[in-house]
């Protein structure tokens, strides 16, 4: 089966879709760059859309994901809260484990 591949996306749901690859990339971008604005820009997302997404996530999960510092002489910035970092790390670990299982199943049934 030449050129056959699969694609798998892990999303977590509560009432609505509440965490997946997009929020993961946004939070990882904040952690790496220290800024929600930079993280959104790197994803091609408007800052207002990133804020809307962040507020929705925080409401869904019931805790703050980012500690925010606004403006000032050195500018603002954001860092993940301990709860935000924990959610991100657990989601990424679960994705890695699901991917491993999917690769094994793919090899078993299609290679």
| Domains assigned to the chain | 12-110 (1.10.10.10)
Backbone angles phi, psi at 82, to 5 degrees: -55, -40
Task: Give the count of beta carbons closer than 10 Å to the beta carbon of residue 90.
Answer: 12
* DSSP-derived 3-state class of residue 15: coil
Span 10-47, pLDDT tens digits = 999 987 778 999 999 999 999 999 999 999 999 999 99
Whole-number percent of the chain with pLDDT over 70? 95
Average pLDDT over residues 4-13: 94
* Contacts of 49 by beta carbon, 8 Å cutoff, 6+ apart: 40
**Cα gap 61→14, rounded to integer Å:** 9
Average pLDDT over residues 38-64: 95
Whole-model pTM? 0.87
Question: What's the pLDDT at 30?
Answer: 96
């Amino acid at each position: 089966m030449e050129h056959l591949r699969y694609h798998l996306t892990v999303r977590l749901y509560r009432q609505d879709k509440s965490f997946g690859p997009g929020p993961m990339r946004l939070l990882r971008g904040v952690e790496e760059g220290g800024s929600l604005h930079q993280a959104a820009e790197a994803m091609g997302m408007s800052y207002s859309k990133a804020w809307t997404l962040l507020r929705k996530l925080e409401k869904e999960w019931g805790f703050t994901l980012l500690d925010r510092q606004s403006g000032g002489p050195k500018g603002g910035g954001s860092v993940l809260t301990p709860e935000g970092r924990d959610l991100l790390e657990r989601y990424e670990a679960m994705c890695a484990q699901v991917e491993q299982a999917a690769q094994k199943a793919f090899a078993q049934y299609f290679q």
